[in-house]
Amino acid sequence: MFSALAGGVALLGLAASSVVSGAQQPFALSGGKFESYDAGLFSPVEDLGLLSTSEFTALAHPTFPNYNVRIKKSDFCDGTVRAFTGYIDIEARHLFFYFFESRSNPDKDDVIFWTNGGPGCSSSLGLFMELGPCRVNDVHNVTFNPYSWNENANIFFIDQPIGVGFSYADHGEYVSTTEDAAKDIAAFVAIFFEHFSSFKGRAFHMAGESYGGRYVPAFASAVYDQNSRLVAVGMAPINLKSVMIGNGCTDWKTMFPAYYEMQCQPKTIDPVVDISSCVGTKQALLRCEKRLKEDCYDTTDAINCQAALSFCRDHIESPFWTAERNPYDLTKSCNADEMSDSLCYSLITKISLFLDRTDVRKTLGVDHSVQGNFSSCNGNILNRFGSALDGIFPADYYIEALLERGVKVLIYAGVNDWICNWVGNEQMTLNLEWTGKKAFASKPLRDWQVSGRAAGVTRSSGPLTFATIYNAGHMAPYDKGEESLELVKRWLANDEL
């Protein structure tokens, strides 16, 4: 979800560890390159079934001396498959993750990585509200989700960057750019696949929503670029097949004009902003676009770029907020207090209370260092990334590069969303500079169906697909579980929508 408001700790209860002894670890990064290692000194855990339910098992690899992965069985939520939780330890930084096996064929099905956005929002929202194996309906009420994406895939949910959800740092360290976060994610992926050999070579897909439109392209690119270095030291490359971005905020050059269209034109529903405000917005739009181009993209002038963003928000976004509509679903109302308290969804508050339960935290293996009430979104992280102008980085450049290398890209959007809407996302896909640009643009939008009814429209050419989901908002899997799952199942199977 994207909010527009928007001394070392000992490892807990380590079981058998694959960490190589200090005398056998001359394998640090050298000059940005991995040094080769003696495979005979590395002992992978291999089988997830060997993991403990009460203690963490530590996974390491000599190629990544500063990284450690702790993982344990935490069978919960689904009830039909094995579930695991753990931490990615990067020295004094600790990223929390959940992992669920596929309900169909865990030994053969693809692997999906999922992250929510913010920046600063926990992937527990994706897990417990949208596409995970269970839905938290209240503090003590959890139900099976038949439309979970682990119907046909093994799936990770990761609280990142540091400070999100159950992730934390020992000494106040933090990450304030997506590129820094990408290094940690790429290392984790390599360590996991190297230890659990049954996943080696398995198709891997990186997915996310909202600010995930910035995260996922960079994370996938880091995984792709890392592959050549893995091969050089004798490790198996990651079989990165695709990225999937739902209602992503990837390119502000297309999103600000799309705000005007969504709130002042009948793109999804009738205009929600009064005529006078729309006229003022239209007058300010050209100036907004000009200032963004000159101060945020043509140059790297931080002060002027922040001023340009403030101008755009004041003149383009502000009229929408006065309309008291839910920014994640235009068809619903939401006042400022509701937005501040629960991002317009009372269920988010219930998920936080569920994750505050002592028994739940014990089952998950949450470190004792994590104190206080659970927070679905961290405003400090939002501010740090904003101060670093991280969101202004042209993430579409990463998408272009991935497409040129044969990595498939799915951009999907619930049509009721305003904050990272389908209009801006469609225009972003049409603007992408890659060898398939003309072929993609030449394709007309067409209906795609689920169970004989129209589910949205789509355009596809080569490795790039754009799709909408009718009657869905920002969190499309929450609003339209069946349609979202069917979209993903067809994508994984390489079937046409």
DSSP 385-442: HHHTTGGGS-THHHHHHHHHTT-EEEEEEETT-STT-HHHHHHHHHH--STTHHHHHT
pLDDT for residue 150: 97
- Report the chain's terminal Cα–Cα distance, integer Å: 25
Alpha-carbon distance of 112 to 425, in angstroms, equals 22
**Is 474 annotated as catalytic?**
yes
DSSP tag of 298: S
pLDDT at position 485 is: 98
Which residue in 102, 474, 479, 484 is the catalytic one?
Answer: 474
SS3 of 130-169: the string is HHCCEEEEECCEEEECCCCHHHCEEEEEEECCCCCCCCEE
For position 25, what pLDDT does the model report? 29
Domains of the chain, start order: 66-250+393-492 (3.40.50.1820)
Is 0.95 surpassed by the pTM of this model? no
Given 210, 221, 242, 352, the catalytic residue = 210
- The verdict on whether 356 is a catalytic residue reads no
Q: What is the pLDDT of residue 79?
A: 87
- Give the pLDDT of residue 197: 80
Residue environment code for 357-392, b if the CB has 16+ CB neighbours within 10 A, otherwise e: eeebbebbbbbeeeeeebebbbeebbebbbebbbbb
Known catalytic residue at 197: no
Q: Does residue 173 sit in helix, strand or coil?
A: coil
At residue 177's C-alpha, the angle toward residues 420 and 247, to 5°, is: 15
SS3 for 90-138 is: ECCEEEEEEEECCCCCCCCCEEEEEECCCCCECCHHHHHHHHCCEEEEE
Reduced to 3 states (helix: H, G, I; strand: E, B; else coil), residue 245 is strand
Return the pLDDT at 86. 92
- Return per-residue pLDDT of the chain as tens, 497 residues: 544 333 222 222 222 333 222 222 222 333 344 454 455 545 666 667 778 888 888 888 888 888 888 989 988 898 899 999 999 898 889 999 999 999 999 999 999 999 999 999 999 999 999 999 999 999 999 999 999 999 999 999 999 998 999 999 998 888 889 999 999 999 989 988 888 888 889 999 999 999 999 999 999 999 999 999 999 988 899 999 999 999 999 999 999 999 999 999 999 999 999 999 999 999 999 999 999 999 999 987 899 999 999 999 999 999 999 999 999 999 999 999 899 888 999 999 999 999 999 999 999 999 999 988 999 999 999 999 999 999 999 999 999 999 999 999 999 999 999 999 999 999 999 999 999 999 999 999 999 999 999 999 999 999 999 999 999 999 999 999 999 999 999 999 999 88
pLDDT of residue 44: 64
Amino acid at 201: G
Looking at residue 219, what is its pLDDT?
98
Candidate list 159, 329, 396, 417, residue with the active-site label: 417
What pLDDT score was predicted for residue 303?
A: 95
Residue 154 is predicted with a pLDDT of 97
pLDDT of residue 30: 30
Helix locations, 265-376, DSSP H: 275-292, 302-312, 318-322, 336-342, 346-356, 358-364
